[in-house]
Amino acid sequence: MSHELKTPLAAATARIGGLVEAGGSGEDVPARVREEAAAALADLARLDGAIGDLLDMSQLESDAWRPRFEPCDVSDVLGTVLAKLPEVARGRVRFELAEGLPPVTVDFAQVARALANLVENALTYSGPSEPVIIGARTIGPDVVIWVEDRGPGVPDAEKRAVFEKFHRGSASAAVPGTGLGLTIAAAIVRAHGGRVWVEDAVPRGARFMVTLRAGERVMSGGEGE
């Protein structure tokens, strides 16, 4: 299924991308065509992201999927998340990491994906000049990681629903997306025996919280407040 969806999309992206590049290199491509091609390329990128979300959600809901556990340094996971962001977005991220964080035994790629979804969500709902704060510290047997933004926040009535599939909150009407990013993040965290929830940030915004058990593999858990 992944091949059948991704291959024609990649081919269309390559063809349209070639048209955009031809116009930029001085070839005789009308300006109107270049503009429409660039817009189509952006639409294809959004479609690619939507297909990726649907495929990831399908995989996570499959009984055959299991995390591949390995000891990981929290700062390494967060470094991977940061490295994949556009340069402008990276400049908005601030870290508040406690010293001496213990390792967590997790599926590195999947936890990085979960945290990336939270960070991208925070960047989307914050103003372009507002920071996004990523923090981590140890509380009891857990490493607690949070992603905090300075956006409109999440109303109390939506704090649980925000992790449900295809949920579109009151602040997301004008924001494109599948409504699966937070669902995928929550599913990954729960598969690791962790908890995920959202609370109000101070002075404004939302703080998404994740717990992961330090130093050992745990398979049970869920969402909490």
CA 38 from chain centre, in angstroms, equals: 25
Please check the confidence at residue 182 and state whether its pLDDT lies above 70: yes
**Contact, 198 vs 208, CB < 8 A?**
yes
Q: How confident is the model at residue 18 (pLDDT cuts 50, 70, 90)?
A: confident
Q: How confident is the model at residue 156 (pLDDT cuts 50, 70, 90)?
A: very high
Least trusted range by pLDDT, from 4-8, 34-38, 74-78: 4-8
- At 21-33, the pLDDT tens digits run 766 555 666 777 7
Please check the confidence at residue 224 and state whether its pLDDT lies above 60: no
Q: What is the pLDDT of residue 32?
A: 75
**Contact, 135 vs 148, CB < 8 A?**
yes
What are the sequence ranges of the domains in the chain? 2-60, 70-213
> Buried b / exposed e across 10-44, counting CB within 10 Å, b at 16+?
eeebeebeebbeebeeeeebeeeebeebbebbeeb
Question: 70-213: what fold?
Answer: Heat Shock Protein 90 (3.30.565)
- d(C-alpha 120, C-alpha 139), whole Å: 25
- At 71-114, the pLDDT tens digits run 999 999 999 999 999 999 999 999 999 999 999 999 999 999 99
**Contact, 118 vs 210, CB < 8 A?**
yes
Is the model more confident about 222 or about 44? 44
Is the model more confident about 187 or about 215? 187
* Residue whose entry in the numeric block shows the structure tokens 């990681």: 145
- Amino acid identity, position 38: A
